[in-house]
Amino acid sequence: GMQRYGGTWSGDVESGWEGLRASLALVLGLGLCGVPYSGPDVGGFGGSPSPELYLRWLQLGAYLPLFRTHSAIWAGRREPWEFGPEVAEHARGVLAERERLRPYLVSLAHLARRTGAPYVRPLWWGAPEDRVLRDCEDAFLLGDALLVAPVLECGADRRAVRLPRGRWYDTVTEVVYEGPGQVLLDAPPGRMPVLARAGSVVPVRGGDGSVVWEVWAPARGRTGGGVVIRDPGPGFEPGVVERYSVRWVGESVVVEDEAGEVVEGVVVRGL
């Protein structure tokens, strides 16, 4: 009956790399059990994480539904600046990206309430028959649009990422990768690999605070689309479901609403 309530944290995980890996497994498992809103204590509940471990935990936490730092009273503080200026600087970027993605997270929250689909999904979500993806437990899908590959090993500055079928873009470099398959991606301290599915529509917060459609170009000859539910504001209104389609028209990528009207002002990436 826990699914009826707002959410939960993942329990008092220890401040080690094993605890970091367990945090992802717990959130994935809770989502599949009907509890879509959860997250760990960033940095772990007990113990003292190293600056590297804390930063990697913060990077993962920023892409989970419940994002917070917390610890036992005897375990030391968990604010980013407590781990040195380099971690604090990287943390600014992590927090800014979390805020930029807030409209997307709001859409996922409404979709979870309406459909039961969790925010955080295993890589096999769209292809449960794929045995290779079913064995992959170190990455996840955030909704349908993003693939998040957290760094879960000490000292790692690169990591292998298993891709589901389709075209994927590195969200920083916009380099294209084709799935299914495995790729090796750079993961320096200030960066966690995140990929966007070709053809996806991601609502993000623009520089002026407005909601902007960030669209990742589909492969030539293919189409895409997405479902967006805007935040209706305070109260209990469910929000209006908006469906968009993405296609190539000549040399341009065009986004249309359900009525077939072209949506203006979108940001197309991956061209």
Compute the CA torsion angle 170, 174, 176, 177 (nearest 10 deg): -10
Asked if the model's pLDDT at residue 127 lies above 70, the reply is yes
Asked if the model's pLDDT at residue 72 lies above 70, the reply is no
- Mean predicted confidence (pLDDT) in 267-271: 95
215-262 pLDDT, tens digit each: 999 999 999 999 999 988 888 888 899 999 999 999 999 999 999 999
- Mean predicted confidence (pLDDT) in 65-83: 85
pLDDT score for 181:
96
3-47 pLDDT, tens digit each: 777 788 887 888 899 999 999 999 999 999 999 999 999 998 888
Asked if the model's pLDDT at residue 2 lies above 80, the reply is no
pLDDT score for 97:
98
Instruction: With 0.85 as the threshold, say if the pTM is over it.
Output: yes
140-199 pLDDT, tens digit each: 999 999 999 999 999 999 999 999 999 999 999 999 999 999 999 999 999 999 999 999
| 189 vs 50: CA distance, rounded Å | 13
pLDDT score for 70:
84
pLDDT score for 98:
98
Of 3-12, 58-67, 127-136, 236-245, the poorest mean pLDDT is in 3-12
Peptide bond into 180 cis (omega under 30): yes
Q: Is 150 exposed, middle or buried (0-12, 13-18, 19+ CB in 10 A)?
A: buried
Identify whether the C-beta of residue 64 lies closer than 8 Å to the C-beta of residue 42: no
Asked if the model's pLDDT at residue 53 lies above 90, the reply is yes
- Mean predicted confidence (pLDDT) in 61-89: 89
- Mean predicted confidence (pLDDT) in 117-128: 96
Phi, psi of 93 (to 5 degrees): -65, -40
Identify whether the C-beta of residue 202 lies closer than 8 Å to the C-beta of residue 211: no
User: Domains (ranges, CATH) in the chain?
Assistant: 2-115 (no CATH), 120-197 (2.60.40.1180), 201-269 (no CATH)
Cα 46 to chain centroid distance, Å, stands at 26
